[in-house]
Amino acid sequence: MSMFGVLIYAAALLTSEGVLVQGPAQPLVAQLGGSIILPCSVETPLPMEELEVEWKRTDEEALVHLFQNGEDRPEAQHQSYRDRAHFFSEQIFKGNFSILLENITVADTGIYRCVVFSYQNVGEISVTIQHAERVIVTAEDQIVFARVGEDVVLNCMVDSHIPPQRIDEVSWKKVDKKPDIVLVLLFQNGSIFPESSHKRYRGRAEFFRQEIPKGNFSLRLKNVQTADKGEYMCEVHTDNSVSSATVEIGRLGMSALHIITLMLCFISLLLTFVLSIPVTIYISKKGRPRIKYAFNS
């Protein structure tokens, strides 16, 4: 899924013929790649006879959808809207002429008109789809390496132009063993919730609190264990979009303490072996039986 959003504005127009077509008073929000309802309705249901509803793009005159002669006419749609724009057929007799537009793309930006014809009367609304800012989430290092027992930092940065108050939620999850996704740490509505972490990460995962106002949601994972190896996702939710970045903890090496311990063990074994050689030779000579030779005179 893309990480753009769209703002949808609607205006209701009353024509001289007297058909009042209504739309939403407040902006609606949707994500590119998602779905959105373009509202269009009348307060009092209209007779189905002679009823025609036409959704069009004003900038291209492309027919988005058509309801005519008591049924919707998908064959009349512009090819770019086929299988993407749908009426709510069971709602039309109630005066609801809204359409569902699926899989929103950049090309869907523009002005739409919902025109309602009833006998000699006509009314319409205009709906504009515009871009909204997208949230960009980045990770400096896609693969990080660590040593068992040490700490590691998984980077996650949100666009600096996104104010913290617009960020509803940031979650770090271990996602390499789907569907068993494990929550590592959660930031929600301005607060950190360490108690929501999976027990495996409780007390080991933390944000850099002072960096959060700067859009830095990097995660510090303390006392890294072999089981921590794998893929992690930093997912950011705002009021109109979701974006994410992934970081992988790659091959885990041994900590300095483990290396020193192994070296000391190796040196100890080597010294034991070296010192045992003279002792082995001495014991071997001392324990060898003496042979006496007899000579005949």
pLDDT of 141-190, one tens digit each? 789 988 899 999 999 999 866 777 888 999 999 998 877 899 999 999 99
Structural domains of the chain, ranges and CATH numbers in brackets: 5-132 (2.60.40.10), 137-253 (2.60.40.10)
Q: Strand 167-174 and strand 182-188: pairing?
A: antiparallel
Q: What is the mean pLDDT of residues 3-23?
A: 55
41-73 burial by CB neighbour count: b if 16+ within 10 A, else e?
Answer: bbeeebeeeebebbbbbeeeebbbbbbeeeebe
Indicate whether 294 pLDDT > 60: no
Structure tokens at 173: 């999850």
16-31 burial by CB neighbour count: b if 16+ within 10 A, else e?
Answer: eeebebbbbeeebbbb
> What is the per-residue pLDDT for 122?
92
Rounded distance between C-alpha atoms, residue 101 and residue 295, angstroms: 119
Query: pLDDT-based confidence at 15, cuts 50/70/90?
Result: very low
Close Cβ partners of 99 (under 8 Å, ≥ 6 residues apart) = 37, 38, 40, 55, 64, 65, 85, 86, 87, 88, 114
